[in-house]
């Protein structure tokens, strides 16, 4: 899940607010039927005797606007929709009813948000529809359990569900919204395809990452597998850059080595840019890669200086650079296995050179 800035989507909002055959918009119909709030219209149409069909959110301008925001990716898991599957337009706050903390379906749901642009997200079937699926933990265990959002919308224990439009601002949802939240503060991705709740103060305060993983099934076995495959390809591209870096250090004035490095960096960009799949994972990988790479040039410069002259000053400078690398190996912000992999491919030994 990545943060996405929601735009005004004028055409989508026009479709969501179109007048129905009863002379009412879907919102007016819902507010009058469920909430007893009559629209300010003159003349006033007859009061509806049945709930609205909740269908305008399926209009093509709405789908077009969601595609403009998210491309062909699910808002929750970032998977591209298969060519035979359509985007499911998902209500962040369920329109028809919600599952409360006791597992009971409560009706009505957030009926006043059924045709609200800010409540709509594109979803894949697996994240949207509740059903039993295989989920994999990082220790290799596979458990078959229910996941998929459907009518689930957990809130912070001890708080209340919003039952009126005004109460929404006071609600404490446990499910992350990519258009309102910063998912990286709650979800930590690894270069083997797995993810876990982030080790941050924000996640520790509420556990929204854990809730989102469980509700949307972000640890589905198949999903972990495709993320792992993309991560392996990304690691390969990173390794190529580090290899080109090493060649460039050996042959600093060789234009062939310079071109090799440029090509490797360009190729890596295709795996981590905003249009690539599983960007939350590759962004986390790229953060580690950038941090590793920033330490390499100073480290190897100090290493070469120490090899040329094993003075006390050169030894101290090398130990300082090596210590920074050792600290990075233990930095909880980054995937430890990935950091060690990158350092190994860069030619950095586990033991700090010059330490006697």
* DSSP3 helix / strand / coil % (the chain, rounded to 5): 50, 10, 40
Q: Model-level pTM?
A: 0.88
Question: Measured between alpha carbons, how far is 33 from 28 in angstroms, rounded to an integer?
Answer: 8
How would residue 356 be classed by pLDDT, with cut points 50, 70 and 90? very low
Q: Please report the DSSP string for 158-221 in residue order.
A: T-----SGGGGGG--BSS--TTTS-GGGTEEE-TTS-EEE-SSHHHHHH-HHHHHHHHHTTTBH
Q: What tokens were used for 190? A: 């690894």
**pLDDT score recorded for residue 351:** 61
Cα–Cα distance for residue pair 210/208, rounded to 1 Å: 5
- The residue behind tokens 């409360």 is 100
The values of phi and psi at residue 329, to 5°, are -60, -25
What is the band of 84 on the pLDDT scale with cuts at 50, 70, 90?
low
pLDDT range class, residue 354, cuts 50, 70, 90 = low
Would you call 73 helix, strand, or coil by DSSP? strand
Q: How far apart are CA 10 and CA 46, in angstroms?
A: 29
Give φ, ψ of 73 to 5 degrees: -110, 145
User: Any idea which of 97-111, 140-154, 241-255, 330-344 has the lowest mean pLDDT?
Assistant: 140-154
| Helix H or strand E encompassing 249 | helix 221-250
């Amino acid at each position: 899940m990545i943060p996405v800035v929601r735009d005004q989507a004028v055409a989508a909002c026009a479709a969501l607010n179109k007048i129905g055959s009863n002379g009412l918009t879907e919102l007016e119909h819902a507010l009058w039927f469920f909430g007893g709030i009559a629209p300010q219209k003159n003349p006033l149409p007859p009061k509806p005797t049945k709930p609205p069909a909740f269908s305008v959110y399926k209009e093509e301008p709405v789908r077009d606007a969601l595609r403009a925001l998210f491309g062909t990716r699910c808002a929750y898991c970032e998977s591209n929709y298969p060519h035979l599957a359509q985007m499911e337009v998902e209500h962040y706050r369920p329109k028809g009813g919600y599952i409360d903390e006791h597992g009971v379906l409560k009706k009505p749901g957030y009926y006043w948000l059924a045709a609200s642009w800010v409540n709509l997200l594109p979803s894949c079937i697996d994240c949207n529809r509740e059903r039993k699926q295989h989920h994999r933990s990082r220790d290799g265990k596979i458990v078959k359990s229910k996941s998929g959002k459907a009518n689930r919308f957990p809130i912070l224990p001890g708080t209340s569900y919003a039952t009126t439009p005004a109460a929404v601002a006071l609600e404490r949802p446990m499910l992350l919204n990519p258009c309102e939240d910063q998912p990286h503060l709650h979800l930590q991705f690894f270069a083997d395809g797995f993810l876990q709740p982030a080790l941050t103060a924000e996640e520790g305060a509420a556990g929204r990452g854990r809730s989102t993983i469980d509700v949307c099934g972000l640890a589905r076995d198949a999903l972990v597998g495709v993320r792992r495959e993309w991560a392996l390809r990304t690691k390969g591209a990173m390794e190529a850059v580090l290899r080109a870096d090493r060649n460039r250090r050996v042959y600093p004035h060789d234009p062939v080595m310079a071109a090799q490095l440029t090509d490797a960096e360009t190729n890596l960009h295709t795996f981590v840019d905003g249009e690539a799949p599983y960007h939350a994972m590759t962004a986390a990988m790229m953060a580690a890669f950038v941090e590793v790479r920033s330490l390499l040039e100073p480290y190897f410069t100090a290493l070469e200086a120490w090899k040329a002259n094993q003075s006390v000053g050169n030894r101290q400078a090398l130990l300082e650079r090596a210590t920074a690398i050792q600290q990075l190996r233990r930095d909880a912000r980054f995937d430890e296995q990935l950091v060690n992999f990158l350092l190994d491919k860069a030619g950095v030994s586990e033991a700090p050179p010059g330490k006697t």
